[in-house]
Structure 1
């Protein structure tokens, strides 16, 4: 590979929103960074999974996640690819590429990490398969933002997966988009049949903003009884983009799948696409406002909420979320509550924080236990299942990724181990994302 150097200061594995944030932060600060991604594009679940909109990251009038995340939002807004908190996957891809390019971060796409080379508890290099050629690339610090904790797994560092007692993993969802929806007709139906929708629905619809509609319980129940709809689907949920007639659907519900195995992911794709076909037909045939709607696209990959999580120097718990715990070494804040999409024979949970409160994420949760130079961010952050269910959302993943980039840069600059860096130095570099009381 002519354009890939044999060694970088930092290697980031996985180009989802956490990896993008880590790579951009470290590169902007002056480190040489390689971002490795197995797809032919960047964005992870934001693009391949079409996961939109961004979930709650604001308390009262204060935005909790700014920094690179906000740079990405502004880039999408400038491209007219984002309205409110909703965005197009194509806009995310282009905007992320632009940020990475401007930061002089090197990106290696279509690359599969096959092996982690260690000396004791220090990672020396990774072996990467690129179009049939295996190359070895070294770095001083590694950041795992793969979602599945691939570097942690391949490096034989500690990890856990799923529910601590049952091992169950959250349900998977294949996102899809439809066009030609008569949104006003749909909202009028919702207003007249509130019993058919979730009780959190708000009915003072503002058609200049994104609208969320979730329920259609009677349609789903009847379709399942008539064997027109797979029984695991519980409701139909979509968000609109203003005046576009388009909806982004977070509806399919794929159970009994381990998203960290190729065999199960293949099953999930087949199940998900069959569910999408059934839901689209139900909407077109029976639901007011969808008579002329068409399926526009399905996501490249089924959306995976939960697989492996690293075990770090600190494990973020459900109590840390529920009781809005604060930390001296905080590097990010969040206000999204516990959100577990249950498997078969497991209740789903959605628990909100008290209005106006937020929790903090400690730097220690980004440092992998027993590893000298490995950090984690995004979906594979060190946490319990409850903690993970709140931290996995895109804004929080971006904030933890940015903190990893800052810590890795400081370790390179000062020629120290990652645990030797004073957390207050990291906090100064991610000041926009943390409470001022920590500074």
Structure 2
């Protein structure tokens, strides 16, 4: 069936159009606006935050390499502002390190090095936050920056002039609406815009998760059970994980709300985050497993006797779908070997993102920022956490603003210019690799 041509009302024009209000898109919009560009941001949900807020991925990690906080800028600004209103908890610098006492204090906040080979894992900078705290602070920062935000707007098409993107079309309650701009940033997480524009990509797949929170939990009693009755705890914990059918080792973590815990589970494999059938199945199956777990832990796990479901994340936990095939494709070896690129513009804990991995081949006026950047499937699994995506977003927003100001293509903006402005905004773009890191130089 071929859909007949339709019409769309142009409702906004700006220098930069950001599609997706998640962590990367939010960072891009704020950064571009702070550089003086006019910005319109489009989001399909009725809130900002993406998987951080709507997906309830409630720990910001992969931002500390054991010696220093590596992912800063808008990410740390968000953390500090949430902490000031009681919506964020993280270990102070003097309590980061390796000791059994510190591990017991901070592990259930998710503030440990989850890649460490030693036990107990060292405590590092990671932040546990409340999803509505994120939404609140995101709204404040977007309003302060004077970004034009259009919620309830579902991206559907790219407006193209040859190989140049000129804007996007969204489906809304008011019908089709067009938002035009000089540079478009795809921060959709699924590469929706770039794919619609004709960019090359690979179709990846990873676990889907229906994240949820439980209230009425006596976290002190639950932790005593783990540390004072380790053998019994291990048996009960193992059965809880079997009931869910898939989870991380620490399937529940503390949150800033007393008695409310975050459960980044259950995990479901073999499902495609782009198909209606699979994501519908994940939503139904996930809730079924959640309530089976609640029945089990009420009866068997100390501290959970009176627990109840507070909420299930309104967004499904999708980790990998389309991955851009950009000017450069980051590999697993690049991430593992901590390769530092000449065009590095963003960083995670001890890996770096080149600007060329954010640029779609053959498409002009577009930058990609977020978990759908140009990387192999295995590399993306190691570099898709929220803080490095925010670092990417901040650099993308700045690059877009620089391109507009100079009247050039984003591809023509120099990485050095991007990094200089990221630093001026208080971020670390990774252009100066850590002195104690074992880094390699590799051409992009």
TM-score grouping bracket, smaller chain normalisation: 0.7 to 0.9
1:113-132 → structure 2 map (5 Å cutoff): 113-132=155-174
Partner of 1:343: none
Q: Confirm or deny: 8 A CA contact 2:395 2:429 kept in the other structure.
A: no
3-state SS of 1:92 partner = helix
Gapped regions of structure 1 (runs ≥ 5): 163-168, 197-215, 336-357
Q: Confirm or deny: 8 A CA contact 1:37 1:112 kept in the other structure.
A: yes
Alpha-carbon distance in 1 for matches of 2:433, 2:220: 47
Alpha-carbon distance in 2 for matches of 1:248, 1:375: 33
Alpha-carbon distance in 2 for matches of 1:60, 1:438: 14
Q: Residue 247 of structure 1 is aligned with which of 261, 279, 290?
A: 261
- CA shift, 1:222, in A, is 4.6
Q: Residue 270 of structure 1 is aligned with which of 284, 291, 308?
A: 284
Partner of 1:40: 46
Alpha-carbon distance in 2 for matches of 1:103, 1:38: 20
- CA shift, 1:5, in A, is 4.6
**Does 2:287 align with 1:281?**
no
**Does 2:147 align with 1:105?**
yes
**Does 2:219 align with 1:183?**
yes
3-state SS of 1:380 partner = coil
- CA shift, 1:233, in A, is 5.7
Task: Give the direction of change, closer, same or farther, for the CA distance of 1:423–1:221 in structure 2 (3 Å limit).
Answer: closer
Alpha-carbon distance in 2 for matches of 1:372, 1:147: 19
Partner of 2:429: 434
Task: Give the direction of change, closer, same or farther, for the CA distance of 1:153–1:436 in structure 2 (3 Å limit).
Answer: closer
- CA shift, 1:55, in A, is 1.4
Partner of 2:368: 376
Partner of 1:365: 357
Task: Give the direction of change, closer, same or farther, for the CA distance of 1:234–1:17 in structure 2 (3 Å limit).
Answer: closer
Q: Confirm or deny: 8 A CA contact 1:236 1:251 kept in the other structure.
A: no
Gapped regions of structure 2 (runs ≥ 5): 1-8, 91-126, 435-444
- CA shift, 1:243, in A, is 8.0
3-state SS of 1:379 partner = coil
Alpha-carbon distance in 2 for matches of 1:259, 1:245: 32
Alpha-carbon distance in 1 for matches of 2:210, 2:75: 24
Partner of 2:123: none
- CA shift, 1:194, in A, is 4.0
**Does 2:169 align with 1:152?**
no
RMSD: 2.2
Q: Confirm or deny: 8 A CA contact 2:87 2:256 kept in the other structure.
A: no
Partner of 2:114: none
Task: Give the direction of change, closer, same or farther, for the CA distance of 1:33–1:4 in structure 2 (3 Å limit).
Answer: farther
- CA shift, 1:230, in A, is 5.3
Deviations 1:167-198 (A, max 9, x none): xx2111111111222222211221145467xx
**TM-score normalised to structure 1 length:** 0.83
Q: Confirm or deny: 8 A CA contact 1:69 1:399 kept in the other structure.
A: yes
Aligned residues: 387
1:206-355 → structure 2 map (5 Å cutoff): 218-219=235-236, 222=239, 229=243, 231-232=245-246, 237-241=251-255, 244-335=258-349
